[in-house]
Amino acid sequence: MLGDNVKAFRERLGLSQPEFAAWLNERLNRRYDKQKVSGWERGSDKPPQVVVDLLHREIAGLGVKHGPALVVSVSNQKGGVGKTTTSVNTATMLAQSGHKVLLIDADPQASATIHLGFNAIDLHRQGRTLDAVLRKEATLADVVLSVEDTGLDIVPSSIRLAKVEGELQGQVTGIFTLRKALAPLRETYDFVVIDTPPHLAQMTMNSLTASDTVLIPCQTELMSVLGIEYILESISDIRDTVQSTLTVLGILPTMFNQRLTQDRESLLELQKAYSGTTRIFDPLPRATVYSQAFAAGQAAVSAVSNAAGADSLRAVADALVAERTKRFGLRMSEVAHVA
């Protein structure tokens, strides 16, 4: 739970910082004070897990109605541009804000699954991965797993998904398989984030067809920037043929190093080419916190609330909330959430 969300929750209760500390102390038998609460809200200190858990329970106890879900694909046909990092951390940030979020790992490399500490091989053997759903051996709800401490749910992937992708290619309605599987859960979640493979083959097409909007991570190097036009053409084709309401949320420059001339020039080129038609988010910097979080099996924003680039990810999360509100109107979930 991020600091600004602690503040929003406190203000919703109508309590001052000393009163909120007393409220926590009464329920948790602790000795928090105004300074401690202020540190959480400024983001200089991370709220203890016991506080996060209490606030999540309080939110859940409100009887908030979730859904309908805004479905977003995080997509780029080029690999190594930060799709999984963006997917995992944006989904986690939304979940930490009290939204009910499902992350679907649609990449046979299972990077998002591994990133969040799950064993893709064991889950595959148990039939609890996305490929089992697409083969109609299980429903999507059957394979959903929960991530400890964040409230995020995930549909894991495995290498077998690569074979299923080939099978879908030969089916007349194969491009709609994920959309059909996802339909029963759209009234259960507020957001569904799909981490797509690094190519524009069948699984990516399935993901785009199932989505309302697309976020495009783009590494700040020349070849990645040049590839943006290709994925925008593919999104346009999907919109013209099978998903008329599909939009582009924006482009997120990634792995940016302000000290490198190539990165600065690539960012400028990206802004010149697309800022007039597509939102360009502030760049996500290259930072060791993301690789360290991957190695630890957790999202960076869960481990370090003020991680480098957190403001850029928060802007993406805010844009998704705004897009959902625009499409579906303000629901009780937005009124009651602490985001």
The pLDDT tens digits for 45-54 are 888 877 877 7
Residue 327 to residues 73, 322, 336: CA-CA distances in angstroms? 16, 9, 19
The domain limits of the chain are 3-60, 70-336
pLDDT per position as a tens digit, 172-211: 788 999 999 999 999 999 999 999 998 888 899 999 999 9
Helix or strand run (H / E) with residue 167: helix 161-169
pLDDT at 52: 78
**pLDDT of 86 over the 90 cut:** yes
Question: 0.85 cut: is pTM over it?
Answer: no
Give the model's confidence band at 157: pLDDT under 50 very low, under 70 low, under 90 confident, else very high.
very high
**pLDDT of 155 over the 90 cut:** yes
Give per-residue burial for 188-210: e unless 16+ CB within 10 Å, then b. Answer: bbbbbbbbbbbebbbbbbbbbbb
- Of the candidates 275, 207, 217, which has an alpha carbon nearest to the alpha carbon of residue 238? 207
Tokens of 281: 């988010």
Work out the average pLDDT over 291-305: 89
φ/ψ (deg, to 5) at 280: -110, 110
pLDDT at 315: 94
Residue 141 to residues 70, 155, 184: CA-CA distances in angstroms? 17, 9, 9
pLDDT per position as a tens digit, 18-67: 999 999 888 776 789 999 999 988 888 888 877 877 777 676 655 567 88
Q: Give the whole-angstrom CA distance, residue 199 versus residue 201.
A: 6
Work out the average pLDDT over 138-159: 92
Contact 37, 4 (CB under 8 A): no
Tokens of 103: 């992350």
Neighbours of 244 (CB within 10 A): 8
Work out the average pLDDT over 163-180: 88
pLDDT at 337: 42
pLDDT at 153: 96
pLDDT at 54: 78
Residue type, 58: E
Tokens of 190: 């507020």
pLDDT at 74: 97
- Of the candidates 65, 133, 111, 108, which has an alpha carbon nearest to the alpha carbon of residue 201? 108
**pLDDT of 96 over the 90 cut:** no
Q: What is the CATH number of domain 70-336?
A: 3.40.50.300
Most confident of 3-7, 221-225, 241-245: 241-245
Neighbours of 65 (CB within 10 A): 12
